[in-house]
Amino acid sequence: MAIDYDNIKNWKFDDVTHTYTERDSMLYALGLGFGANPVDEDELKFVYEKNLHAVPTMGVVLAAAFGWARDPASGINYTKVVHGEQSLLLHKPLPAAGTIIGKTHISHLIDKGADKGAVIYQARELFDQKTGDKLATVQSATFARGDGGFGRTDAPPPAAPATPDGKPDAVCDFATLPQAALIYRLSGDYNPLHAEPAIGRAAGFKQPILHGLCTYGVAGRAILKTICGYDSSKLLGVAVRFSSPVYPGETIRTEMYRDGKRVLFRSRVVERDVVVLSNGVATLA
């Protein structure tokens, strides 16, 4: 059954108030593997309360409107929904602790056809409750593979640039922990696909998979280290397309190409030589 265009485009999202602590910021960083080297003081500032900094990509987990697509009133076949794209643009640095207000709306709804599904673009603005400052804009694209054919469509947003071929300007490898998904889920995404072996197998995987947003954060960590010298004020945004899942314990290699005030990148799993993030764009200060 096709979804209703007007219903989705005008979906009413309640504002989300999200209070987080320094412990939450440290836990998010640990989920991405920060602190793997206990004498690396550049990473220590993201996992230790002395002079604590928030990892820039943490904005994607703050004040999110989780679960709305599971509502039967949406008409969405949630069993066929996959996370397709993710972007974050920071307007001000994220505080290491605070209260954030998230305001969400549907920005684009694309009908790809009855047998091709639909793409739902969701935008969220993050505001600091204390100051009223706009901190970030978060956007994601969801592929609703079973819900095309409703007959009305928006023009798609601009396409992400392709990642160049050839030798990258920089490469950074990060090995993920076997328990990485179990740590990362404590930042808010408790989908059992990332924890229960039986559910992982039922979904067609050999085991639970890593959260796509964890892979996204590991790529952000690679850019933060390699391009920004761990200066979080230099990384303003990260946008990616999800290409393939990662198994916890695998090594994520991020290949970076400098392009003025941005970095084009892709990430691949070294052990299987599979691209897991494509069309990546990092925006620099």
Quick check: is 102 catalytic? no
User: Of 209, 223, 227, 252, which residue is the catalytic one?
Assistant: 209
**Helix or strand or coil: residue 55?**
coil
User: Of 148, 200, 212, 217, which residue is the catalytic one?
Assistant: 212
For tokens 């993201």, the residue is 46
User: Of 183, 194, 211, 227, which residue is the catalytic one?
Assistant: 194
Contact 30/59 with Cβ under 8 angstroms? Answer: no
Three-state SS string over 217-228 comes to HHHHHHHHHHCC
Close Cβ partners of 219 (under 8 Å, ≥ 6 residues apart): 238, 240, 252, 254, 265, 267, 277, 280
Q: Among candidates 146, 136, 77, which has minimal Cα distance to 104? A: 136
Contact 138/237 with Cβ under 8 angstroms? Answer: no
Quick check: is 209 catalytic? yes
Contact 51/232 with Cβ under 8 angstroms? Answer: no
Beta partners for residue 126, in sequence order: 102, 136
Quick check: is 227 catalytic? no
User: Of 4, 40, 169, 189, which residue is the catalytic one?
Assistant: 189
Task: Output the six-digit token pair for 285.
Answer: 């200060």
Exposed / middle / buried, residue 177 (Cβ in 10 Å: 0-12, 13-18, 19+): middle
Contact 89/59 with Cβ under 8 angstroms? Answer: no
- Positions marked active-site: 189, 194, 209, 212
